[in-house]
């Protein structure tokens, strides 16, 4: 888990900033993780449609998430058409929950 440059808030400890997972913390990767937390697995085409990303951009970001072990890409066929399914792994789900917790702590919403 790496550190990410996020705005530090007054009265917040730096511990919570260190807890922000840089692999998840990026607009598209964040969107993918959020979508996969509700729809698992999702097809590559579905993620393109939902996030509005380009093929290349999504591939790059999925590669980063896969390298971290957060998602798993499964290439196969749907009928005769090739299809890639993206699965959120157990460690991906844990990392996602930890990320949400860290963000909530950082933004101070856990004290409300």
Partner 1 sequence: MDDKNSLLEDLDFAATLARDAANTPLLGGVYFLIWSGLLVPTLLVHGGVVQGWVPLDPSSIGLLWLGYAVVGITFSTVFGMRTANRPGSNTFLNRLSRASGIVLCTLIFTFATAISVAVSAERIGFEAYNLILAFAFGLNAFHLAVLGALSRKRYLRWSALMAGVAMVLTVFYCQDPVVYFIAALGVCLSMTLPGILEVRAEHRHEPVPSA
Binding site for partner 1 (CB under 8 A): 5-7, 26-27, 30-31, 33-35, 37-43, 46, 49-53, 78-79, 103
**In degrees to the nearest 10, what's the CA dihedral of 43, 2, 95, 60?**
0
Q: How far apart are CA 8 and CA 10, in angstroms?
A: 7
* Shortest Å distance, C-beta 27 to partner 1: 5
User: Of 5 and 56, which CB lies nearer to partner 1 in the complex structure?
Assistant: 5
Tell me the two tokens of residue 15.
């511990």
Minimum distance from residue 11 beta carbon to partner 1 (Å)? 15
Q: Residue 76 has which token pair?
A: 């196969």
Which is nearer to partner 1, 77 or 111 (by Cβ)?
77
Question: Per the structure block, which two tokens stand in for 43?
Answer: 């097809």
Give me the least distance between CB of 107 and partner 1, in Å please: 8
């Amino acid at each position: 888990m790496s550190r990410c440059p996020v705005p530090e808030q007054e009265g917040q400890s730096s511990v919570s900033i260190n807890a922000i997972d840089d692999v998840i913390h990026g607009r598209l990767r964040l969107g993918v993780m959020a979508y996969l937390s509700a729809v698992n697995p999702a097809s590559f085409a579905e993620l393109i449609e939902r996030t509005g990303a380009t093929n290349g951009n999504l591939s790059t970001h999925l590669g980063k998430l896969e390298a971290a072990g957060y998602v798993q890409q499964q290439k196969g066929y749907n009928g005769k058409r090739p299809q890639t399914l993206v699965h959120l792994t157990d460690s991906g789900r844990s990392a996602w929950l930890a990320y949400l917790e860290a963000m909530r702590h950082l933004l101070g919403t856990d004290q409300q």
